[in-house]
Amino acid sequence: MDMLWRAISEAKPGPKWAGLFREYWPDYQRWWMREGLDARATYWEGLQALKTHMPELVPIYEQLCELAGGGDLAARFLSFHNPPPYLSACSQAIWPGARPMLVRNYDYNPRAFDKLVLHTTWGGRQVMGTSDGLWGLVDGINDAGLVVSLTFGGRRVVGEGFGVPLILRYILQTCDNVAEARRALARLPTHMSYNITVLDAKRDYATAFLAPDRPAQITHAAVATNHQERVEWEAHARMTATVERERFLLQRLTLHVEPQEKFIRAFLRPPLYSTAFDRGFGTLYTAVYRPRERAMELHWPQAAWQLSLAGFTEGHRMIYTPEQTREPLKNQSA
């Protein structure tokens, strides 16, 4: 399976972002409407939720709505408030060596994925990360050296709140360090359960277990897969091998400190790496974030792409991702 990845830089919302919106909007509109218009928050509800919980993003949101054409449906979508349910299933861990580094696998349906790295200076804050929803992020870094990444939390409950990619965008736009991120994550409402790991240049880190039906739990976990304190969705846990992947990573963290390169390579092999694309949970990429260097790397089994905030260069890569129609349960990962 071939995937065209693009790295795009635009300091302020403008013609590049507008072009991306025109390109992606037909697919996103179908997804947003799949349960019918009445199932989605109104424009007013989304705007008020942003003003209440993420007021710093409102000027950016209004610019993006204008670039998207000013329509009601696009504005509802861009608020990320009460979106349709969706599942991703990933692995992420903090390397225990001297220099801070976060490594993660993002496992998802390749047909529902932006395949974009966006570099922006919205509101005067430099941010670089992997796009979802054209302004949300599934992982990223800002100019203060704060890194953030998500995994699905392994629960079926859907409630009132924001889609998690916008929560990651908010953290990177407004926070300088993990202490500030902890406070923000403790108060932001999410529509589903997610695990969000944050790491900064001083090597402070935390993992927040977010849920729509209970208070956020802010932990010092260095590993996150697809459950929170315990498995609550047994079928999903078996399909994604979340417990096995967590144990695998914890073992690597506790036995000894591996060289960085060896730790990264472990994410490109089972049990962390998956080719289960027929179930929507194949590994689309491995990301490496280095807070002190303000840099990220994207890795695949046969390729790598290095990107930095200070010297960001636009470009594209055609990435071949191996597919497998079915793999043994012990090798399933997401």
How far apart, in whole angstroms, are the C-alpha atoms of residue 287 and residue 198? Answer: 14
Beta strands in the chain (DSSP E): 2-10, 91-94, 102-108, 116-120, 127-132, 136-142, 147-152, 194-199, 205-210, 217-219, 223-224, 282-290, 295-300, 303-308, 315-320
The dihedral through the CA atoms of 136, 198, 102, 150 has a sign that is negative
Q: What is the structure's pLDDT at 111?
A: 86
CA atoms of 41 and 118, how far apart (whole Å): 27
| Residue linked to tokens 């065209």 | 4
Count of H-run helices and E-run strands, the chain: 9, 15
Give the whole-angstrom CA distance, residue 109 versus residue 115: 11
107-130 per-position pLDDT tens digit: 998 888 999 999 999 999 999 999
DSSP assignment, residue 51? H
pLDDT band at 281 (very low <50, low <70, confident <90, very high): confident
The pTM of the full predicted model, rounded to 2 decimals, is 0.95
Question: Beta strands 315-320 and 2-10: pairing type?
Answer: antiparallel
Q: Which two tokens stand for residue 299?
A: 């890795």
The single-letter code of the amino acid at 34 is R
Residue 147 sits at the vertex; the CA angle it makes with 173 and 97, to the nearest 5 degrees, is: 160
pLDDT attached to residue 323: 65
Tell me if 307 sits within 8 A of 315, measured CB to CB.
Answer: no
pLDDT at residue number 324: 53
**Interatomic CA distance for residues 50 and 78, integer angstroms:** 11
244 pLDDT band, cuts 50/70/90, is very high
Query: What pLDDT score does 1 carry?
Result: 79
| Chain centroid to CA 257 | 26
In sequence order, the 6+-apart residues with CB closer than 8 A to the CB of 210 are 153, 164, 167, 185, 188, 190, 193, 194, 195, 196, 216
Q: What is the mean pLDDT of residues 7-12?
A: 98
Give the confidence band of 261 by pLDDT, cuts at 50, 70, 90.
very high
pLDDT at 321: 75
- Which DSSP symbol is given to 214? S
String of DSSP letters for 295-332: EEEEEETTEEEEEESTT---EEEEEE----S---GGG-
Q: What does the pLDDT look like over 171-194, one tens digit per residue?
A: 999 999 999 999 999 999 999 999
170 falls in which pLDDT band (50, 70, 90)? Answer: very high
Q: Is 314:9 a contact under the CB 8 Å cutoff?
A: yes
Cβ neighbours of 11 (radius 10 Å)? 12
pLDDT winner (highest mean) among 198-202, 255-259, 272-276:
198-202
